[in-house]
Amino acid sequence: MLLPCRHVFALECAHGMVPTCYLCFAKVEEVRKIVASETPLHLCGVCLRGYESQDELSELVKANGGKCCQGQRPRAETQP
């Protein structure tokens, strides 16, 4: 898992993309190894960010309108 953005990749891929996440272009400060058989990982199906508890993910989704763990940016008005 890349921190602080929380995007999840295979460990070798994660180390290969330091210093920038390929999905959100955030600076990677840490790569955290997660062993799937020891620690369950819960992913947001919209933005692919990972959380170590279903409760944390559910609370964030609920707090952000029920669609994604991250707040949705308002759409920019298009000019004709």
Residue 41 belongs to a domain: yes
Expressed as residue numbers, the domain containing 55 is: 2-63
Evaluate whether residue 59 is within a structural domain: yes
SS3 readout for the chain: CEECCCECCCHHHHHHCCCECCCCCCECCEECCCCCCCCCCEECCCCCEEECCHHHHHHHHHHCCCCCCCCCCCCCCCCC
Instruction: Report if pTM > 0.85.
Output: no
54, part of any domain: yes
In the chain, how many domains are there?
1
Is residue 28 within 8 Å of residue 53, measured between CB atoms? no
pLDDT in tens, 61-80: 888 888 888 876 554 544 44
Mean pLDDT by 10 residues, the chain (80 residues): 92 91 93 88 88 89 84 53
Asked if residue 6 belongs to a domain, the reply is yes
Any domain includes 76:
no
